[in-house]
Amino acid sequence: MNTEIYKESPVVHQPAFIDGHSVEIPILKILKQDGNVYDGADLPEIDQTHATKIYKALAFHRVLDERMVAAQRQGRISFYMAALGEEATSVGGAAGLESQDMIMAQYREQGALIYRGFSLENFMNQMFSNEKDLGKGRQMPIHYGSNELNYMTISSPLGTQIPQAAGYAYGQKLQGKDAVTICYFGEGAASEGDFHAGLNMAAVHNAPVIFFCRNNGYAISTPSDEQYVGNGIAARGVGYGIKTLRIDGNDILAVLKAVQFARQYALKENKPIIIEAMSYRLGAHSTSDDPSGYRTREEEAKYQAHDPILRMKNWMLAQKWWDETQETELFEKLREQVLAAVKVAEKIDKPPVEDLVTDVYDQVPAHLQQQLDALKTHIKKYPQSYPFTAGRIK
């Protein structure tokens, strides 16, 4: 019984309240914006090859976001979510893990998938909901998933992945796998009941899961000071008895250091850990959002000075692992590749009508087969009204 531990508490005879902010939470910073490392900072394990892979993933991420926001503006895709300013949290997270570790993301973590090698074609096929999409054109753009890359398919409802990550990690532990689960979410989703459910389940059942909060200051238009009044999300980790760390989320080396440590800890101790990465969502929530309605240009400009990709580039230049020629060539090549991939993906057919009824169950049950047959008969009667599928119905 856990109540035994309170026998150790100091006893008082007048009310002695603990202040909500009395737990002081330090913030890990390794890399300065100018590319220099703080004196005495512990670097993560990183060499030139690894650093270059990380930097290229960051660059890919930025170009993909720029181009796809533009593609949405041109009406080529319906929706997009950029991660401008927060790229280090997802790319750095994946870079600190092993490929067998499960990533359960919220929705703004395409960087982790880029780092793991999800192809440009796969990104495009998902966003254009064409028949080559791994998700069979069923979810809005950016809801990626890949079994091969251990990246759980995104689910729109916020926070549902948090207790799931606890269960996933518990299963990994029980089966003796050399693997952990990382679970991403924002400071807004941390208000959901599933956050509290998931952290407590993971703590009580000793699940090797890394909870990674991207605190980017906003949940759509709601600033974080209207989301909570406590000492951020990290303080809650302390409350649940979970090892807790706050980091500068725009510092790729801090993210890498934190996740490398967290992975080792989760595996060795079979316990959860929580990282709160402080960042700022420089862009809109999604292409359906306009931040000018709730924040100032001045505020945005202040945070633009903390660009995580520029910070890593400065470090790479200082290490002499990168130069401006490589920089220009890389970004030009990426822009060309993304544009070319858009043109290919948008011409690929929509999924066949049969995909409406598959995967609801492991096999198509009789009532769904009947509904599909009736639909096909109807489409054949009015083929002009169903141009994507009419021509392909036998």
Partner 1 sequence: MAQMNLLQAINNALDIAMAENDSALCFGEDVGHFGGVFRATSGLQEKYGKARCFNTPLVEQGIIGFANGLAAQGSTPIAEIQFADYIFPAFDQIVNESAKFRYRSGNEFNVGKLTIRTPYGGGIAGGLYHSQSPEAYFAHTPGLKLVVPRNPYQAKGLLLASIRDDNPVVFFEPKRLYRASVGEVPEEDYQLPLGKAEVMQQGSDITLLAWGAQLEIVEKAAELAAKDGISCEIIDLRSILPWDVETVANSVMKTGRLLVSQEAPITAGFASEIAATIQSECFLHLESPIARICGMDTPYPLALEKEYVADHLKIYEAIKHSVNY
The amino acid sitting at 173 is K
One of 294, 297, 378, 392 is an active-site residue; which one? 294
Structure tokens at 238: 């302390």
Q: Which of 102, 120, 189, 190 binds partner 1 (CB under 8 A)?
A: 102
Listed ranges 51-59, 297-305, 329-337, 364-372: which one lies at the site for partner 1 (CB under 8 A) = 364-372
- Return d(Cα 223, Cα 34) in angstroms, integer: 28
Asked if 109 interacts with partner 1 (CB under 8 A), we say no
- Return d(Cα 339, Cα 79) in angstroms, integer: 17
> Is 378 marked active-site?
no
Q: In angstroms, give the least distance from the CB of 113 to partner 1.
A: 13
Q: Which of 162, 213, 274, 316 binds partner 1 (CB under 8 A)?
A: 162
Asked if 367 interacts with partner 1 (CB under 8 A), we say yes
Closest by Cα among 382, 175, 183 to 277: 183
Give Cβ neighbours of residue 186 (< 8 Å, ≥ 6 apart). 106, 108, 158, 213, 214, 215, 216, 219
One of 116, 246, 263, 281 is an active-site residue; which one? 281
Q: Within positions 245 to 304, which residues make up the interface with partner 1, using CB under 8 A?
A: none
Which residue, 110 or 279, has its beta carbon nearer to partner 1? 110
> Is 196 marked active-site?
no
Give Cβ neighbours of residue 167 (< 8 Å, ≥ 6 apart). 201, 207
Q: In angstroms, give the least distance from the CB of 4 to partner 1.
A: 18
Asked if 11 interacts with partner 1 (CB under 8 A), we say no
- Where in the sequence numbering do the catalytic residues fall? 281, 285, 294
Q: Which stretches of the chain bind partner 1, using CB under 8 A?
A: 102, 104, 133-136, 138-139, 143, 145-147, 152-153, 155, 157, 160, 162-172, 174-175, 181, 193-194, 196-198, 200-201, 204-205, 358-362, 365-367
